[in-house]
Amino acid sequence: MGIKIKIQTFIASLFRRLSTALTRMSIIGPESREGRRFGRFGEGSAIGWPTGAGFGEEWIWIGENTMISSYVTLSAGMGPNQEMLTNPVVKIGNRCLIGRGSSIIGHWSIEIGDDVFTGMNVYITDQNHGYENLEEPIGTQTPNEEAVSIGEGSWIGSGAVILPGVKIGKHVVVGANSVVTSDVPDYSVVVGAPGRVIRQHDGNGWQRKHHFTSNIE
């Protein structure tokens, strides 16, 4: 019985080491074949394996020393080989961390500043479906596109959604599962669905907020 347990333990350990080795070999870096598809792929950056669905890599820029976790979807456009009107469509800064299972879906402009960290399953998009014709299916109506930006040093909590047209300032905390529909000023904490600022630092200390205000220019 003791020998059987030792054999099972050895086999389990072997599989774990093999899985770890394969994962390391599959990581996408700036010099890999997949990495060279991107418009820019900074030194020291990596995309974990397995990746999420993605296309339009030539319109996506990734800064230096940025880690994009496994199962993250990065896309530019509606489908592969689409010619875009802006370049880059998606720009991720230096020293960022994009959490496992997140999606960054760009069609016009998504810019993520340096040192931005996200939790898992964050969704960021600059496009929303149109709803002008009451007789036409919503999914086939012309979508609306508005640029999105996230300021440097911000933290986006797990499950948060950043919707089109939103400008998030620098050093902002977005709470888990928040849905951000409006601009967020620098040095703020925003929570809820829809998101609202509950605290903001004015340079002297933290001030509690009971309703949303924005001072972004």
Phi, psi of 62 (to 5 degrees): -120, 130
Give how far Cα 56 sits from Cα of 25, 66, 168, Å.
Answer: 23, 19, 25
Catalytic residue list contains 201: no
For the beta sheet containing 167-168, the strands, ordered from the edge strand earlier in sequence to the opposite edge, are 40-41, 60-62, 90-92, 110-112, 148-150, 167-168
Are the C-beta atoms of 69 and 100 separated by less than 8 Å?
yes
Give the integer Cα–Cα distance in Å for 200 and 177: 19
- Active-site residue (options: 107, 129, 171, 211): 129
User: Annotated active-site positions, please?
Assistant: 129
